[in-house]
Structure formats: C-alpha cells, structure tokens
Chain A
Amino acid sequence: MTAASWLALVVVAACALAAARLLGAARAEALRRFLEPRGVRAGVAALLFFVLLALAAPLVSAYGPAAQLDITGLQSAPPSWRHLMGTDLLSRDVWTRITFGARVSLGIGVLATVVSVGLGALVGGAAGYFRGPTDAVLMRLVDVGLAVPRIFLVLAVLALGHPLGAASLALLIGCTGWFATSRLVRSEVLSLRERVFVEGARALGLRPWRILARHVLPGTGAVVIVAAALGVANAMLLEAGLSFLGVGVQPPVPSWGNMIADARDQLATAPWASLFPGLAITAVVVALHAVADGVRSALDPHAPLAS
C-alpha cells in the first residue's frame, strides 16, 4: 500500500457512505422507506463500497493481482502497513488480490443472476400467463431442476470439460439457478393476469407476449428484486465453492473462492491469506441478505418487526 492507494481507499469508502446517505434522503417515498432501517442502509453502503472497490482496484492497491513481489523475502508475510492483509505463499499481496478478485467474484455473481433471474422471469411468466399445457410442461421441468442440488448440476457439466473461463462459468451458474425464481414469478403472474388492466390490454387486441412483457412482468418487480439480491449471494457462494474445489475460476485470475483454495494448505502458518477472502464473501452476502430483507419489508406493510 502506498500513500496514493490509501488515499484512494478513503475516497472509495467516503463515496460509498455518501451515496448511501444520499439515497436515503431521496425524494421517492419507496426508496426512503426501504432505506429507513439501519441494517438496510449499512447493507447498501457495504455493497456500494465493494462495487467501487472492484471498479477502482488498480487505484486502491499498489501491485498487480498476479505479481509475485519477492518470492524469497515476502513469502506468507503477515499483515503490515505495506501489505494490509499480508502476502500469500507466492508472495502476492492479498489486499491487491481481494480488490481484483472483487471484480471476478462480484462480476460472476451479477452476470449469473442476470441470466437466472431473466430465465426465471421468462419461464415463470410464460407458465403463469399462458397456463394449460405450457404451464404443466414448464413446471415439471422446474420440478426436475429443483430435485438436483445445484452444485451437482454444475459439476455434471464440468465433468468432462476443460475448466471454463469466468464468463462461461457465470453463464453456467446462472443456467442452474432459475428454477426457484420461476416458481415465484409464476405464482405472482397467476394473480396478476386476472386483474382488470390485463383484461383491458387483451380487449385492445395486444398480442399475448406484449401484454406479458409490458404489463404483467413489470408487476412482479418486487419478487424479482428480492430473488435477484439473494441470487447474487447464492451465485457468489457457489462460485466460491466451485473455485475451492478447483473447477471454478482458474489461477492466476484471483477470485475470492480460489484465493481461499490456494491458501488452505498454509492455514496454520499464514491464516490471513484464506481468512480475508472468506470475510469479504461473508460481508457481501450479509449485505445482500440485508438488502433483500429490506425490500421485502418495505413492500409488505404487514411484515412483522423488521430485523
């Protein structure tokens, strides 16, 4: 860490806090109510912090993510002012790898969730809106998908292949994660499709897909937002698990999961190299859960005491 990277880190943290505060004072009533509980504000601030950290990775860290700084002198060095979170066995700076790993881990989480929530909304929307045989076929498919623990589905696809790049891995994780979302969206759509405005749209002669896309699916926004927040958390945990098993993100690209995997053999001698990436995953997942809880209780006036 140099003086410039410390400064950049302070700026990033300040920006995250300021942005969260600004959002909390927004004019929109829904946004204000959502950000009212302290836990939700902290969650939003933490998410903003990690996103900014990922974007500003080269600024807030002083080294390259794969740079081996001094293989004899800096092997598994404990945390210090120069190396905020110590170094790993290959003398790489753990803090630097955390910040660049944030790009990979958050990126996979978000991309996978765009895929899974998109597929879930599409399938759930079609099943709920068209009902009949479409519904029956799609929902049986969902039953099948839900019957296999997600990691086994991913492992099955990886069983023969060469390890995937980060983007394909994200797509694969996304394709195995839409089953539960589609069920939620379907049940929302089943009730929305009976409403008068949908009948009106039908009476105007709009085509079914257009009604579904423009009038019905937007009504499921709340369910989808909650599912997306939890989806990012689950995708990140799955990526970490896969990388831990060695079939996820491949070295030397750092992800929080493969950092833990790389450092597990030095657990007793250099615990910092595996503890900090784990803390980073936990922090982001906690923040996402807090945000999901916040959305849920902001939209549900009967929600029991918000936690």
Chain B
Amino acid sequence: MAAWLLRRVGAALLTVLAVVTLVFFAIHLAPGTPFLPSGDRPLDPAVEAGLRARFGLDRPLGIQYARYLAALARGDLGESFAQQRPVGAALAQALPNTLVLAGSALAVDLVLGTLLGVLMAARAGRRPDRWLGAATLVVYALPTFWLGLVLLLAFGQWLHWLPVGGVTDPVLHDALGFGGRFVDRVRHLVLPALSLGLVGAAGTARFQRAAMLEALGQGFVRTARAGGLSERQVLGHALRNALLPSITLLGLALPFLLTGSVVVESVFSWPGMGKLAADAIQGRDYPVVLAATLVAAVLVVCGSLLADLLYAAADPRIRRESA
C-alpha cells in the first residue's frame, strides 16, 4: 500500500510538472504581447524594452522556462503585471473563496444528486423517474453562467431575497456581530453555489440512477428480498454498493467545478481564482493565468488521488490488487 501510494504521488508530481511545461510554452508560443499601449499613442519601444528586461522577457525562452521552474521550486509564482504585486499574494487571497464556493457546490452536487438518483432508481420506469429524468436532462444541459444569471434575475432582482454579488455585504458586514457575519456570507454564497451545484447534481443523479439500477439487479438484492427485508432496507444495501462507482465522480467533479467557477465567479463578482484568471485575460496578465492554471491542475490531481485512495479504502478487492 505504501509503495503504491508513493508511486501514485510521484506520478502526480510528474503530471503537475508536465502541466507547467505545457502551459508555459502554450502561453509563450501563442501570438501576442503582454504590453499594450494605454491610450492612443503607440508604446515607446524603449519603454517596452525596459518592461521586457524588467520581467526577464528578453531572455531566450529556454532560460525563461528554467528561471520560472527555479522560482516555482522556491514557491515564487512571479509578479503580476496588472496588479503589480506577487502572483502568490493574489492567489492566496482568491483561493479560499474558490474553495468555499467549489466545496459548497460539491456538497449540493453529491448530496442532492445521490438522493435524486436513488429516488429515480427506486421508482424506475414510473412517473417520478420519468419526470425527474426529463428534469435532470434539462438541468444538466444548462450553461452554468446562464443558470447563474437566471437565478440572479429571479432571486436577486425580482424577489430581492438574496444579494446579487460579492462575498459579503460591502456596507453592513463589518458592523455585524459574529452570527450576522456568518449569515451574510451564507446569503452571498447560496446563488453561486446553486448555479454550479444544481447542474452537477443533475449529472450525478443520472449517473447514480444507473449505478443503483445495476446494483439492484445483482444477486445479493434478490437474496435480501427473499430474506424478507423491507424495500427500504434493500435500497440501503444496494446504495452501499452503488456508491462505490460514484467515488470516481468525486475526481471528475473537480474539473467541472473549476471550469464552471471561472464563469460563475464572473457572474456573481465572486473574488475567487476563476475571476482572477478571467480578469487577468483582459489585462494580458499571463503570470496570473499560468499560476491559476497550475493551481487548478494541482487541485484536479489531488482530487483524483483522493478518489483513488477512497476507492482503495472502500473496496478491499482494489486494495489487494494494488498492494
């Protein structure tokens, strides 16, 4: 088990290194320049040369790459052109917000998705299954940012139930007590988390329904029924087996949530990593884009590593094979 874990972690590190390489060269080989004139006058060549020298962009690409890796090893992600501060500082501010948003969305995704999936499988072929099947098909097809806009319109603009953007209330938050601040944060979190979580939950529900139906078709379910267990108990037994393949979903959900967070954070002005990256694109601030991509890849790799570990913990057969 220890050797297997070591191999997996080693492979994960190599993957991240390869991602850095791929994205570094993708950015630098793509056409364009980070420095654009502000206003109508063309950029003075001397000024541009100075900027290039200051950020080390006048060196050969191989040297730039080596220097980037060396800095990365020291934990230095470079300097943001637009924000004029270390990229690490900008990311450190944004990452917790993204983790809160993605974590809440993941909870909605898995809990709601599993519940609906079990409900559909238990009523397979009957009316609740057909209606939920149609509903999840539609919700799964919604562009997350558009669902965000619709929720914003309904609950923010028309009903005035929830705030329309940001993490906290800019005016009231500091004046509130501890409980009030918590409620304020949750109220701001609801709409973005639902935009991401509902779409994911629809996909999870469809997956869970299939997994449940497969488990319900197995011999142990017949045995359980023959033994006189109630249908609820039978579903419980089947669910434990049907949950196993959905551990894989945990690993797959992260890329989806991170992709979604880029646009959803922009809709709700949520100051997270996705909005940071999207804003950096506007400012041609590529060190930020590179760093955000790197962090996203690390999160995805960690997610799939975690999924593998959970799988091994949950299923003794896999543990024996990989040991």
Residues of chain A at the chain B interface (Cβ within 8 Å): 39, 140, 143-144, 146-153, 155-162, 233, 237, 240-241, 244-247, 257, 260, 264, 267-268, 271, 274-275, 278, 281-282, 285-286, 289-290, 304-305, 307
The digit string for B1-31, where 1 denotes a CB below 8 A from any CB of A, is 0000000000100011011001100111011
- Cβ A241 vs Cβ B263 within 8 A: yes
Residue contact B213 to A305, C-beta cutoff 8 Å: yes
B26's contact among A156, A274, A281, by CB below 8 Å, is which?
A156
Q: How distant is B101 from chain A, measured CB to nearest CB, in Å?
A: 14
A278's partner among B150, B152, B157, B258 (CB-CB below 8 A) is B150
Q: How far is the CB of A230 from chain B (nearest CB, A)?
A: 11
Q: B277: which of A152, A240, A241 is its contact (CB, 8 Å)? A: A152
- Which residues of B (195-240) have their CB < 8 Å from a CB of A? 206, 209-210, 213-214, 217
**Does residue B146 face the partner (Cβ distance < 8 Å to A)?**
yes
Q: When chains A and B are docked, how far (Å) is the Cα of A92 from the Cα of B141?
A: 27
| Distance, CA A257 to CA B266, complexed state (A) | 14
In the bound complex, residues from chain B placing their C-beta under 8 Å from that of A247 are 281
Q: Does A286 contact B141, Cβ atoms closer than 8 Å?
A: yes
For the complex, what is the distance from the CA of A247 to the CA of B284, rounded to whole Å? Answer: 11
- B157 touches which one: A146, A151, A268 (CB < 8 A)? A268
Closest to B285 in A: A159
Interface size on B, residues (CB 8 A): 67
Given the known inter-chain contacts A149-B255, A278-B146, please indicate yes or no for A268 contacting B141, CB distance below 8 A. Answer: no
Hey, which chain B residues are within 8 Å of A233, CB to CB?
141
The distance in angstroms between the C-alpha atoms of A157 and B281, with both chains bound, is 10
Question: Given that A149-B258, A160-B286, A241-B263 are contacting pairs, would A155 and B143 also be in contact in the complex, using a CB cutoff of 8 Å?
Answer: no
Residue of A nearest to B24 (CB): A156
Determine if B300 and A148 form an interchain contact, defined as CB atoms under 8 angstroms apart. yes
Q: Which residues of A contact B249 (CB under 8 A)?
A: none
A-B contact pairs, 13 of them (CB 8 A): A147-B304, A148-B23, A152-B292, A159-B286, A160-B284, A161-B30, A237-B143, A244-B145, A268-B157, A278-B146, A278-B149, A305-B124, A307-B130
The segment from B69-77, B132-140, B176-184 found at the interface with A is: B132-140
Looking across the interface, which residue of chain B has its beta carbon closest to that of A143? B15
Given A160-B286, A275-B150, A282-B143, A241–B30 Cβ distance below 8 Å? no
A148 CB contacts on chain B under 8 angstroms: 19, 22-23, 293, 296-297, 300
- CB proximity of A181 to chain B, nearest CB, Å: 15
Least distance between A303 CB and chain B CB atoms (Å): 9
CA distance A222 to B146 in the complex (A): 32
Known A148-B23, A286-B137; judge A161-B262 contact (CB<8 A): no
Q: How far is the CB of A102 from chain B (nearest CB, A)?
A: 15
Question: What's the Cα separation between A157 and B290 when bound, in Å?
Answer: 10
Asked if B119 lies at the interface with its beta carbon under 8 angstroms from chain A, I say no
Query: Which secondary structure dominates chain A's binding surface?
Result: helix
Say whether, besides A148-B19, A305-B125, A240 and B289 are in contact (CB < 8 Å).
no
Find out whether the CB atom of B145 lies under 8 angstroms from the CB atom of A289.
no
B262 pairs with A151, CB closer than 8 A: yes
| CB-defined contacts of B33 to chain A, threshold 8 Å | 160
User: In the bound complex, how far is the Cα of B125 from the Cα of A268, in angstroms?
Assistant: 40
Residues A147 and B19 in contact in the complex (CB < 8 Å), given A156-B289, A245-B281, A278-B143? yes
Which residues from chain B contact A140 at a C-beta distance below 8 Å?
A: 15, 18
Query: What is the distance, in angstroms, from B83's C-beta to the closest C-beta of chain A?
Result: 15
- Report yes or no: A162 in contact with B137, Cβ–Cβ below 8 A: no
C-alpha spacing A306/B245, complex, angstroms: 20
B15 close to A144 (CB less than 8 A): yes
Is B149 in contact with A260, judged by CB distance below 8 angstroms?
A: yes
Q: How far is the CA of A63 from the CA of B18 in the complex (A)?
A: 50
Ranked 8 nearest A-B pairs via Cβ: A160-B32, A285-B141, A278-B146, A161-B32, A159-B286, A152-B293, A159-B289, A307-B133
Q: How far is the CA of A159 from the CA of B25 in the complex (A)?
A: 12
Assess whether B289 is in contact with A153, with CB atoms less than 8 Å apart: no
Of the candidates B142, B281, B290, the one whose C-beta lies within 8 Å of that of A282 is: B142
- A155/B138 in contact, CB under 8 A: no
The reply to whether B259 and A150 form a contact with Cβ atoms under 8 Å apart is: yes
Within 8 A of A (CB), among B237-273: 254-256, 258-259, 262-263, 266-267
For the complex, give the distance between the alpha carbons of A237 and B293 in Å. 20
Interface contact B289-A244, CB-CB below 8 Å: no
A285 to B142, CA, bound (A): 8
Question: Could you list 15 further interchain pairs (A-B, Cβ under 8 angstroms) beyond the known A39-B134, A140-B18?
Answer: A39-B137, A147-B19, A148-B300, A149-B256, A151-B262, A152-B262, A153-B23, A153-B26, A159-B30, A161-B31, A241-B143, A264-B267, A267-B157, A271-B153, A282-B141
Question: What are the residues of chain B within 8 A of A143 when measuring CB–CB?
Answer: 11, 15
Contact A151:B284 (CB < 8 A) given known A161-B32, A241-B145, A281-B143: no
**Please, which residue of chain B has its CB at the minimum distance from the CB of A176?**
B26
Instruction: Give B88-103 as 1s and 0s: 1 = Cβ < 8 Å from A's Cβ atoms.
Output: 0000000000000000
Question: In the assembled complex, which residues on chain A have CB atoms less than 8 Å from the CB atom of B322?
Answer: none
B252 nearest CB across to chain A (Å): 10
Chain B, residues 117-135, CB within 8 Å of chain A (1/0): the string is 0000000110001100110
Given A147-B300, A152-B293, are A159 and B153 neighbors across the interface (CB < 8 Å)?
no
Query: A271 contacts which chain B residues (CB < 8 A)?
Result: 153
Q: In the docked arrangement, what's the CA distance between A190 and B266, Å?
A: 43
> B residues within 8 A CB of A152?
23, 258-259, 262, 277, 289, 292-293, 296-297
